Every structure is written in structure tokens, then in C-alpha cells.
Amino acid sequence: MISETQERQLIPPLFQISCMIITTILLISMFGYRFSLFKSRDPKVNYNIITPKKFKEFGSFSNQVPIGLYIDEFEQFNIIKNEFVFAGQIWFMLPPGSLSLEILEKFSFARGEILHRSPPFLKMVDDYLFVQYNVRVRINTPLNLIDFPVDNHSICIQVEHMYTHPNEILFDPTLDSFSIQPNLKPFGWVIYDKQIKNGYIERLLDSSAKIQYYPSTLFYFDVIRYGVQHTLTIFLPLILIFFVILFCFSVQEASVSFSLAIGGLTTILAYRFVIVNMSPQVGYAMMTDYIFLFILASGICIFLIHVSDMFYKYKLVLWSKKTILVFMHILINSVSFYLLYW
């Protein structure tokens, strides 16, 4: 491992470059494949499915009200700030004698605000009264950003009617009743899939066990990133700094190699402010934080090893340095693989 000599043994630059090329290819492959996968960690919205037993408890005579949603455009689609504004149409088909229009128009969006609601458009479809509203809605949705900036998400638009009871009406959506304008790419995202969940909400009103029930439909659509600018901007400089610090093992002149090591550490710390400004403000660690901490810890270890090799009379032999170098490359690939696919 060590040799009592005054001459530092240097890793050949060609060996360094070979390791860098292999690591670069592996990282590009891992990140590229990860972008092709849909993997959402977003928490699911709580709701209750209507079971035959529960339907019987509600009286078994609820009116089935078909419901649908069409999204024309997203005026705001900000995952980082969890702010979404969309414009579209929501429609209902009321069976005879089910609800009055005055009660129907009290529908709402959970975790949202209706910014505009047009007067209803009415027409008869068979025995149903078709009621459509043009709406503009601001919502937020439960998000988990731990995978930022390679995160995918399931956006939930939850329609509810707190002025009715499941024994009066139950929404009856189908997947075809949820539509999004074709080729709509909301601000750097691609709509990957959609789904609908239907049931009712059970809410405890107070400590006396008073419970409120009301119908609710959840319109989900999955989005994946189609741009890599965030990933490149955040991770590419960190990887390059990591390579530069490792290259100090191949520089003969002590002052230059020392400057590479200390300069790399300083740059990593300074770049932390860039990462913070580009990342969501959340109360938990994200992928960017783990990668940054790994690069920082690796840089400190390499710096200490390098300083010891420069100023201590016992020098590391060449095969020891190569072992350390290869281990660092294996480690960054292993950490990246774990964070991308765990």
C-alpha cells in the first residue's frame, strides 16, 4: 500500500480517461433508461370505494350521475411549486328527479379553487339532463419530489360535492369521460397515462363522532419529463468536478495537483447554492441532496488521501492509487443506480 520513497507515483492520464469514459457511458445509460420509465412516489388521495355493503347502508337507492372532465389547456403547470391552473369543461348527466341545478352547481375541487365557472349549458340526452360548465380551476396535488430532477408524477384532480350524500347521488364516471386535449405538453412534461377512481369521502366533523359523507371522483393523469435540462444543469457540473478532483492523482507538480483538489472542493460547496435555487423547497432529502453529499464526501476523502500522499514520507504505491480510483468510479455508479431505481 505504501512505499518509503520521496517520489510520488502518478496514475497514467490514459487510465484516468478510460475510467471517465466508462463511468460517463454507464451514467448516460442509467439516466437515459430511467427517463423512459414511469415511476411515481406521490402519495395517494384517501377515498372510499362503494362496496355492496356500503351501498346498502346508504339506502340502495342512490341516483347514478355520469360525470366527465375535459382539459383544454394548462395555464400554469409548476411541479416545483405545486401550482396548477387548467381550463376546460366539466359535465354531469342528471337522472330525472335527482338534483336541482342550484344544488348541482355547488360542486367543488378538493385542494383547489374555481377561478371561473360559466352558466350551465343544458340539453336533454335521452332521459338525462346534460349539464356542462366551462371552468378555470387552480389546484394543488399531493406530490413527493424525492426523485427530483428525474421525478414522474400522478396529478390528481378531485371533484367532490359536499352538499349531497351518497344516498342521494353517486358519481358514475368512465375512463372515456376523462379527456385531455391531444398533444398537450404542459411546460416540459408529457402526459403518459390517465385513470379514474370513484367513491365517496368520509370526514370526521368533530370529536363527537359526527361523520360527513359525500360523493367524489378522482381524475388522475400521469406525467413524465421530456426535457433533460434540469438533470444536466444539476448533475453534469458535479460529475465534472468529481473527475477533476480524481485527476489530481495524475499531476506531478505538487502546487497544481493541490490546487485541483482544493479548488474542486470549493467549487462543490459553492455549487450547492445553485442546486438549492433550482430545487423544490421541501422538508426531506431529494436525489440532488444525496448526489451532492456523496460527491462532497468523496471529494473530501480524495483530498485527504492526496494531501497525505504529498506531505507524508510514506507514499502510496501506484496500484493502491489505481485501486482507490477504480473504487471511486464504481461507487459513483453504484450510488447513482441505487438512487435511480430503488
Residue 178 sits in a domain whose CATH number is: 2.70.170.10
**Pair 289, 151 in one domain:** no
**Pair 136, 237 in one domain:** no
**Range 132-159 average pLDDT:** 95
- The predicted pLDDT at position 2 comes to 46
Higher-pLDDT residue of 311, 141: 141
**Pair 126, 208 in one domain:** yes
Write down which residue in 162, 192, 225 finishes a domain. 225
Mean pLDDT is lowest, of 41-50, 53-62, 296-305, for 53-62
**Pair 263, 294 in one domain:** yes
**Pair 135, 177 in one domain:** yes
Write down which residue in 189, 207, 225 finishes a domain. 225
**Pair 59, 169 in one domain:** yes
Position 41 in a domain: no
**Pair 83, 144 in one domain:** yes
Position 66 in a domain: yes
- The predicted pLDDT at position 60 comes to 62
- The predicted pLDDT at position 234 comes to 92
Q: Considering the entire predicted model, what is its pTM?
A: 0.85
The CA-CA-CA angle for residues 191, 195, 200, to 5°, reads 135
- The predicted pLDDT at position 3 comes to 47
CATH number for the domain that contains residue 307: 1.20.58.390
Position 42 in a domain: no
Question: pLDDT over 90 for what percent of the chain?
Answer: 60
- The predicted pLDDT at position 6 comes to 54
Most confident residue range from 5-19, 41-55, 120-134: 120-134
Q: What is the pLDDT of residues 242-287, one digit of tens each?
A: 999 998 888 877 778 778 888 889 999 999 999 999 888 898 999 9
Position 91 in a domain: yes
- State the chain's mean pLDDT as an integer: 89
Q: What is the pLDDT of residues 153-180, one digit of tens each?
A: 999 999 999 999 888 888 999 999 999 9
**Pair 291, 149 in one domain:** no
Position 118 in a domain: yes
**Pair 184, 97 in one domain:** yes
Give the three cell numbers for residue 302.
Answer: 480524495
Position 47 in a domain: no
- The predicted pLDDT at position 151 comes to 92
**Range 294-300 average pLDDT:** 93
- The predicted pLDDT at position 228 comes to 83
Position 206 in a domain: yes
* Structure confidence at residue 4 as a pLDDT band (50, 70, 90): very low
Q: Domain range for residue 98?
A: 52-225
Give the three cell numbers for residue 233.
Answer: 444543469
Is it the case that residue 62 has pLDDT exceeding 90?
no
Q: What is the count of structural domains for the chain?
A: 2
**Pair 281, 190 in one domain:** no
Q: How many residues does this entry show for the chain? A: 342
| Buried/exposed code over 299-308 (b: 16+ C-beta within 10 A; e: otherwise) | beebbebbee
CA distances for 213 relative to 32, 236, 239, 309, angstroms? 46, 51, 53, 71
Give the three cell numbers for residue 250.
Answer: 495524475
**Pair 72, 218 in one domain:** yes
Give the three cell numbers for residue 239.
Answer: 460529475
Is it the case that residue 223 has pLDDT exceeding 90?
yes
Write down which residue in 185, 203, 225 finishes a domain. 225
The position carrying cell 426523485 is 147
**Pair 218, 316 in one domain:** no
- The predicted pLDDT at position 173 comes to 94
